[in-house]
Every structure is written in C-alpha cells, then in structure tokens.
C-alpha cells in the first residue's frame, strides 16, 4: 500500500497559475486523511500560499502535507504554521548563471561530471526532491506514488520516475482528480463521495 502521494501543482492539481478548484481541494483533504501528501513545484512559497493553501481547510490533516516550492529547493511542513525544514537558495547572480529551462545544460554537466567525481552523487532536481522526501518523512521510494503532467523523457519531473517512483502521467487537473479518486477507492475509503471530474470548479 502506498504511503505518500506526490504531485506537481501547476498543470496537475490546478490550471497553470490558477487557484486550486474546490473539488480538488476536497479530494486532497480526503487523501490527507488516508496517506501523506506532498506537492513539488517550481512556484515560489507565496504562489503555494495563494494557489494551494488558501483553498484548503486548516485542520489536523495538514500535518500529513509537505510542500516543496521552487523545484524542491525548499521544504515546508505544518506544525500550526509552515516553517522551512530546509532552504537551498541561490543568489540572484547564481540563478542567472544557471538558467537552463530545458535541462539541456544540466544533462551535459551531469554526463561530464559523473565519470570524473564518481565518489559523489550527481542528481537532477526531481531525483533530489524525492530523496529529501524519503529521508525527512522516512518513507521508502516504493511506497510513493507520483502524479504529474511532465513525466516523460525531457519533462521537468521525469527524474522522479528515473529515481524509481511509481509514476502516473496526467494531462490536466481533471485527470489528476480521477487518479486521486481511484487511490481513495483502492484504500477503501467508503465515506468518500466520488464526484465526476467535470464538477471541479
């Protein structure tokens, strides 16, 4: 049985740069009652607050909710508020020097460095985030399920699948809703009312 459901935010849980729909918020809340949930996205913490948290109930279930904004370089967990567990920030100058929207530069760098410094682990962002979730939540990779709209070679979250996480490619939030409904049904949550994805607001 899976213990952690991981998802992207934009294009997966909500339309890009849009707020979480009320039906998706309800599904996520139900899911948090069954398994731990984590959201990894390139958005900033303020975007997480506006798009995601502002639309979720504030209750004890948030203790099972982990948030990893800015491509997983930050990790927040709820303890009555949302402190950073860690933050791996780059300066403005460093961000400009590392701009690589299609991952092409990073792939070349990894290919060059691996044989030269084989005693170190060299991973791309998605792999690192999954490792952080594994270590901080003490949940093994086989116990995770990842849903995202970019799990394909060259996609920004494909490294998570490479890391060994069981992954489901979704097209949009409606398809993600179906995945969550299926997960809830498999977990035997008979009290969860399954809605048609077309009802999502």
CATH number at residue 60: 3.40.50.1000
- Residue 90 is predicted with a pLDDT of 63
- Residue 110 is predicted with a pLDDT of 72
The SS3 call for residue 5 is strand
- Residue 34 is predicted with a pLDDT of 95
The SS3 call for residue 105 is helix
What is the C-alpha to C-alpha distance for residues 107 and 77, in angstroms, rounded to an integer?
Answer: 31
* Cβ-contact 28, 53 below 8 angstroms: no
Q: Residue 169: name the closest of 190, 186, 149, 196 by CA.
A: 149
Query: What is the domain extent for residue 19?
Result: 4-199
What is the C-alpha to C-alpha distance for residues 31 and 189, in angstroms, rounded to an integer?
Answer: 9
- Residue 49 is predicted with a pLDDT of 96
- Residue 99 is predicted with a pLDDT of 62
H-type helices in 7-59, by residue range? Answer: 22-32, 45-51
What are the tokens at 193?
């009312």
- Counted domains in the chain: 1
- Residue 152 is predicted with a pLDDT of 67
CA angle 20, 128, 120 (to 5 degrees): 170
pLDDT-flagged residues of the chain (< 50)? 124-125, 189-197, 199-201
């Amino acid at each position: 049985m899976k213990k952690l459901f991981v998802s992207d935010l934009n294009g997966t849980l909500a339309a890009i740069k849009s707020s979480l729909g009320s039906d998706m918020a309800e599904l996520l809340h139900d899911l948090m009652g069954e398994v731990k949930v984590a959201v990894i996205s390139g958005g900033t913490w303020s975007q997480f607050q506006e798009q995601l948290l502002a639309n979720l109930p504030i209750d004890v279930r948030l203790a099972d909710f982990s948030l990893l904004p800015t491509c997983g370089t930050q990790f927040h967990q709820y303890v009555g508020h949302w402190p950073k567990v860690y933050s791996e920030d780059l300066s403005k100058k460093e961000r400009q020097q590392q701009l690589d929207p299609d991952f092409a530069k990073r792939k070349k760098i990894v290919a060059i460095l691996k044989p030269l410094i084989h005693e170190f682990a060299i991973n791309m962002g998605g792999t690192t985030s999954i490792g952080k979730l594994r270590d901080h939540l003490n949940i093994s990779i086989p116990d995770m399920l990842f849903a995202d709209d970019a799990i394909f070679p060259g996609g920004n979250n494909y490294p998570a699948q490479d890391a060994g996480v069981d992954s489901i490619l979704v097209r949009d939030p409606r398809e993600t809703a179906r995945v969550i409904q299926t997960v809830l049904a498999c977990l035997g949550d008979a009290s969860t009312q399954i809605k048609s994805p077309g009802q999502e607001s």
